[in-house]
Every structure is written in C-alpha cells, then in structure tokens.
Amino acid sequence: MFDISLKTQFSAGHHLRNYPGNCEMPHGHNWDVTVTVRAKDLDELGMGIDFRQIKTALKSVIAELDHKNLNEHPVFKAQNPSSENLAVHIYHALKDGLTSGHHQIHAVTVSETPNSWVTYIED
C-alpha cells in the first residue's frame, strides 16, 4: 500500500452556533488541509496517483471555502462549520474524483491551529 498526501491551506471565518464559549463569536483561522490517497499498486510511471491530480481536485474544493464566512456556505447552513464537519465535507467533495481502480481517497485532515487537528476516514 502507498499513502500519497498533499497539504494546502486556506483562510476563512466561522462561528460555532450554540457553543458554550468564545468560539460562538465570529473568528477566523488559517486552516491546513491534508488529503491522503491510498494506492494498492503503482501505475506504469511508478506512481500511485500523480500529485497534480490531487492538487487539481483539491484546488476547486478549497476555492469554495477560501476567504469566506463558512457559516454562509450551503453545507454549513444546517450544521456547524467545525473542523470535523469541514473534514467530512472536503472528503466527500473529493471522493469521486480521487477514486479509481487502483487508488482511492483515504483520509482528510483539517487543522485550525498547529496543535489541533481532526482526521476523517470513512469506513
């Protein structure tokens, strides 16, 4: 097995509705996002997946989030834009484009600070 990962960043604001503390107030983060694709084998070029393919797929998803108020994004109208929910959203937005016969999206990690992150892996 090969785990191929790509990391990117974006900046966005949000607030956590009904949170019992200061995160209920609007604030922002410089989010880090790491996408991991798992490959069973390598292609004829010796790659599990081209980093460029991951980068291209991720770029369009991040463009919808970057420098936005995440609470106004359609996905987060009914749920809080927590790191957990962001990871699930990004995973599902990338799932079809990063899944083939020999590789598939494995995990999405979202970090809102250098010391706190969440990783989503679908069973």
- pLDDT score, position 123: 79
How far is the C-alpha of 31 from the C-alpha of 116, rounded, in Å? 11
The domain spans of the chain are: 2-120
Taking the complete model, does pTM exceed 0.85, yes or no? yes
**Options 3.40.50.720, 3.30.479.10, 3.40.50.1220, 3.30.300.90; CATH of 2-120:** 3.30.479.10
Query: Mean pLDDT for each consecutive 10-residue tract of the chain (123 residues)?
Result: 97 96 95 97 94 96 97 96 98 94 95 96 90
What gap in Å lies between CA 97 and CA 116, rounded to an integer? 28
Place of tokens 């109208």: 77
pLDDT of residue 74: 96
